[in-house]
């Protein structure tokens, strides 16, 4: 099954009234239990479920209109060449929605550095699909938007909602049961901060890194079982408001994901010396009684998880912190 078949099925019978411009915003999200590995690369269908926390104040804003002379893609006010990786990826995604040979003018502002392992593609594709929905007046529901966003980037399916969000692995071949939904719980004291190590582009994109890990890492065999355990632990910790249980599982899950990549051939090592230094700082802080835990995505930057009541002590220990959530 192709992406275009999924789009056709979702848009069947949706004949909204097109508007001159569609505009939307979508937040970034950080996985607490990671998505790493696809069972279907065309549709971005995952091997496991995953769970994230939405960063309400960080994300992308996108404006889309139709234009006659091919696609024109602007990122933070700058027009990108059509062979720029971001423009190219977006144009291939937009191909799924063209009704004729029209082009699109897309203006995107992102408050996170693109391709630095900070979930920029998640908020970018979620904002794009919402802007298309507004442009064409389809009035799709969140589940359908989540599935369409997944076709752009897997983690984007979680950027349709606030709070804690679970992406269900699903089992259908067409992926119609692989979408995200918010958990019905709030924990407003949770904080996520970001320790910037580098904003350089990733040496290996997450798509290629996932493929290589799955195909060549002997440690990947144990990943699905680990995710099943971690997801259950994280959900239990969230419902009991047990921060230690949450933090320990979140950190272990991220480290295990990186371990699977490091064992791939050739190895994928996103960590830089400062990544390791921050991880030691986090462990030191815990030894001295500050309850803080680390997580990392496909890049060298470290996100730290803590509670509002520890804010001052965290800022004292990590003066370089930027706040992502809370």
Q: Smallest gap, in angstroms, from Cβ of residue 31 to ligand DP6? A: 3
Q: Does 178 engage in binding with ligand DP6 (CB under 6 A)?
A: no
Q: Judged by CB, which is closer to ligand DP6: 41, or 102?
A: 41
Q: Which residue is nearest to ligand DP6 (CB)?
A: 154
Q: Given candidates 159, 206, 295, 301, which one binds ligand DP6 under the rule CB under 6 A?
A: 206
Closest by CA to 298, choosing from 170, 100, 118, is 118
The number of angstroms, rounded, from the C-alpha of 27 to the middle of its chain's C-alpha atoms is 10
**How are beta strands 72-75 and 103-110 bridged, if at all?**
parallel
Q: Smallest gap, in angstroms, from Cβ of residue 65 to ligand DP6? A: 25
Residues 207-266 that bind ligand DP6 (CB under 6 A): 207
Residues 19-78 that bind ligand DP6 (CB under 6 A): 31, 34-36, 44, 50
Q: How many residues of this chain interact with ligand DP6, rule: CB under 6 A?
A: 14
Residues 298, 271 contacting (CB under 8 angstroms):
no
Q: Does 153 engage in binding with ligand DP6 (CB under 6 A)?
A: yes
Q: Given candidates 87, 238, 285, 298, which one binds ligand DP6 under the rule CB under 6 A?
A: 298
Q: Given candidates 43, 297, 300, 318, which one binds ligand DP6 under the rule CB under 6 A?
A: 297
**Burial class (CB within 10 angstroms; exposed 0-12, middle 13-18, buried 19+) of 311:** middle
Q: Smallest gap, in angstroms, from Cβ of residue 83 to ligand DP6? A: 19
- CA atoms within 13 Å, Cβ hemisphere of 301: 25
| Residue 253 Rama label (left phi>0; alpha psi -120 to 50; beta) | alpha
Residues 279, 290 contacting (CB under 8 angstroms):
no
Q: Does 295 engage in binding with ligand DP6 (CB under 6 A)?
A: no
Bond before 172 cis per omega within 30 degrees: no
Residues of the shown chain interacting with ligand DP6 in the complex, contacts defined by CB under 6 A: 31, 34-36, 44, 50, 121, 153-155, 206-207, 297-298
């Amino acid at each position: 099954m192709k992406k275009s078949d999924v789009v056709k099925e979702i848009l069947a019978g949706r004949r909204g009234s097109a508007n001159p411009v569609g505009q939307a915003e979508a937040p970034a999200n950080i996985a607490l239990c990671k998505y790493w590995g696809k069972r279907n690369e065309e549709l971005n269908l995952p091997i496991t479920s995953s769970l994230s926390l939405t960063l309400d104040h960080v994300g992308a804003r996108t404006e889309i209109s139709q234009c006659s002379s091919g696609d024109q893609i602007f990122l933070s006010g700058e027009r990108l060449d059509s062979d720029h990786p971001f423009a190219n990826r977006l144009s291939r995604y937009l191909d799924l929605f063209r009704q004729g040979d029209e082009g699109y003018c897309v203006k995107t502002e992102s408050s996170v550095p693109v391709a630095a392992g900070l979930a920029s593609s998640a908020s970018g594709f979620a904002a794009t699909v919402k802007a298309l929905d507004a442009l064409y007046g389809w009035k799709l529901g969140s589940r359908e938007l989540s599935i369409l966003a997944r076709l752009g980037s897997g983690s984007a399916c979680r950027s349709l909602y606030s709070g804690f969000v679970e992406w269900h692995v699903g089992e259908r071949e067409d992926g119609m049961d692989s979408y995200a939904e918010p958990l019905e719980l709030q924990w407003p004291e949770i904080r996520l901060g970001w320790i910037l190590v580098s904003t350089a582009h990733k040496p290996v994109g997450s798509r290629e890194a996932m493929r290589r890990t799955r195909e060549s890492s002997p440690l990947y065999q144990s990943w699905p079982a680990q995710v099943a355990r971690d997801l259950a632990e994280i959900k239990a910790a969230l419902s009991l408001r047990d921060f230690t249980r949450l933090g320990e599982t979140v950190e272990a899950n991220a480290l295990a994901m990186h371990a699977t990549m490091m064992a791939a051939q050739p190895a994928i090592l996103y960590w830089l010396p400062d990544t390791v230094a921050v991880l030691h700082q986090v462990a030191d802080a815990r030894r001295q009684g500050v309850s803080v835990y680390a997580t990392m995505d496909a890049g060298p930057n470290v996100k730290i998880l803590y509670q509002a009541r520890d804010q001052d002590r965290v800022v004292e220990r990590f003066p370089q912190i930027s706040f992502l959530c809370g």
